[in-house]
Structure 1
Amino acid sequence: MTNDPMVFILMNVQSICRTLDRAVLRDLALVCLAVGVIGLSYGAIAVASGFPLWLPVVLALTVLAASSEFLFIGIVAAGGSPVAAVLAGLLVNARHLPFGLALPDVLGSGWRRALGTHVMNDESVVFALAQQDLPRKKAAYWTCGLGILVCWPLGAFAGGAIGTVIDDTDALGLDAMFPAVLLALIVPAFRDRDKRRAALAGSAVALAAVPFLPAGLPVLLALTGLSLTAVREKTRA
């Protein structure tokens, strides 16, 4: 087993192409593209709010968490304390704790675990958990994580450059791209009645929590919708 990160990445690219089918690779590419487009919006908003171009790019590389970065930029731009902004971002990212517990075998060990933890996000975790066996879980996780590691900072940089010349970035409608792509990916799952019920219950809980909780936490509460599916499966058993 090689200890060279670049060799490790190249070997994983070859393995991924052999492990994942075209449909999964297509979905992964769409999500990474959508993340890059949201990065455009993020970078443009940050620069238009008065931040230097390098800041959103550095945050995109080191934090790699869109919700926390948007929250940080928003709080500081509104005159809030940077310390409060960092604490709010950490609170939102607390959802990564159960993510890590759910994917210990996928992350690997040593420096691979460090890199795997860094590229952990909602998308990479969801794609990994959707696969049936460990090789596919690893392939999906690393493809999505590394893809976002590339697309998110590049999007932030391009968006920051746009923000230097366009003041009203909301007029571009870039923020609608990501939810539109995610919706297209999950619509086929709604053919199953139990999944529809779980999604509706989770959505209701999240919407009710939005006025009271910071951005990102209502999404965590939406996972309570899964309890309906678990209860029904237990009843059937």
Structure 2
Amino acid sequence: MPHADHDASDAERRASLSAGFRASVPYALAGFLLSLSFGVLARDAGFSAVAAIATSAIVFAGSAQFTAVAILAGGGTAGAAIAAGALMNSRFLPMGVALAPSLPGGPLRRAAQGQTVVDASWAMANRGDGTFDRWFLFGSTAPQYCTWLAGTMAGAFGGDVLGDPDKLGLDAMYPTFFLALLMAELRSRRARGVALAGAALALALVPVAPAGVPVLAASLVALDGLRREPDA
């Protein structure tokens, strides 16, 4: 059964934090480029530099941020942008359900710890037996958050120098990032089956569903796969 690692020694916690930090360096570097692109696009969509940076600081989720900017740039309302961003972030619901048993404390403390969940950290902190190393999670998220803010600042204040992010190839970074995460998780036949089912459902919904709904549907498929996973 999943359990919280509150019995870990100080040395074990420091080792997990350090390991998480080291493992996250490639993702932190990729995040810098992604957020740099976001900073440029946000300014083009009418955000002030402060608003773009505040969005990254508070939301810290590329899919939601890029979706919101795309809607606003296309003439959509702020309400539509917020709703679409919330749907894009709905994938964190099944991720949080999986993580929750590994977090100690009451609801508020667990909720605070859960704020460190991002895609790469969640995937890497997964021990593969239904439990998560929360100290590894904390250590891997911290540098990603710092570079996400730094990249947004660079893009928001230096966008005029950088020019069109698509011409620099930054538009390809985001799907490549998630593909790398997916490949790392396809360790078993069951995982591959769940991934294919989620992808098929998402692709079927893309032409007919609002932005964010395909991601939510694919997340629910993943959650069902987790619920049906036999105990190790």
Stretches of structure 2 that go unaligned for 5 or more consecutive residues are: 1-8
* Letter of the structure 2 residue corresponding to residue 159 of structure 1: G
Residue 25 (structure 2) aligns with: 29
Structure 2 residue 50 is matched with structure 1 residue 54:
yes
Deviations 1:88-110 (A, max 9, x none): 22233233333333222444447
Which whole-Å CA distance do the structure 2 matches of 1:40 and 1:89 have between them? 19
Deviations 1:93-131 (A, max 9, x none): 233333333222444447754542333233333233345
The percentage of counterpart residues that share the same residue type is 35
Residue 18 (structure 1) aligns with: 15
Change over 3 Å in CA distance of 1:116–1:75 after alignment to 2: same
Instruction: Note the C-alpha offset of 1:144.
Output: 2.8
Residue 174 (structure 1) aligns with: 170
Residue 129 (structure 1) aligns with: 126
Compute the RMSD of aligned alpha carbons. 3.5
TM-score normalized with structure 1 length? 0.73
Residue 203 (structure 1) aligns with: 199
Contact 1:119/1:149 (8 A) holds in 2: no
TM-score normalized with structure 2 length? 0.75
* Letter of the structure 2 residue corresponding to residue 204 of structure 1: A
Change over 3 Å in CA distance of 1:28–1:93 after alignment to 2: same
* Letter of the structure 1 residue corresponding to residue 15 of structure 2: R
Structure 2 residue 100 is matched with structure 1 residue 104:
yes
Higher RCO (C-alpha under 8 Å, 6+ residues apart): 2
Instruction: Note the C-alpha offset of 1:180.
Output: 2.7
Structure 2 residue 114 is matched with structure 1 residue 117:
yes
Deviations 1:29-87 (A, max 9, x none): 22222222211111111112332111111011111122222222222222222122222
Which whole-Å CA distance do the structure 2 matches of 1:15 and 1:133 have between them? 20
Which whole-Å CA distance do the structure 2 matches of 1:143 and 1:163 have between them? 30
What number of residue pairs does the alignment pair up?
A: 221
Contact 2:123/2:185 (8 A) holds in 1: no
SS at match of 2:166: helix
SS at match of 1:172: coil
Contact 2:17/2:139 (8 A) holds in 1: no
* Letter of the structure 1 residue corresponding to residue 89 of structure 2: N
Deviations 1:188-220 (A, max 9, x none): 665744443433332222211222334443234
Which whole-Å CA distance do the structure 1 matches of 2:79 and 2:227 have between them? 40
Which whole-Å CA distance do the structure 2 matches of 1:192 and 1:167 have between them? 43
Higher normalized helix content (fraction of residues): 1
- 1:84 paired residue among 80, 85, 91: 80
Structure 2 residue 73 is matched with structure 1 residue 95:
no
Which whole-Å CA distance do the structure 1 matches of 2:161 and 2:44 have between them? 9
Contact 2:98/2:130 (8 A) holds in 1: no
- 2:148 paired residue among 143, 146, 152: 152
Which whole-Å CA distance do the structure 2 matches of 1:138 and 1:191 have between them? 21
Which whole-Å CA distance do the structure 2 matches of 1:62 and 1:188 have between them? 28
Change over 3 Å in CA distance of 1:29–1:75 after alignment to 2: same
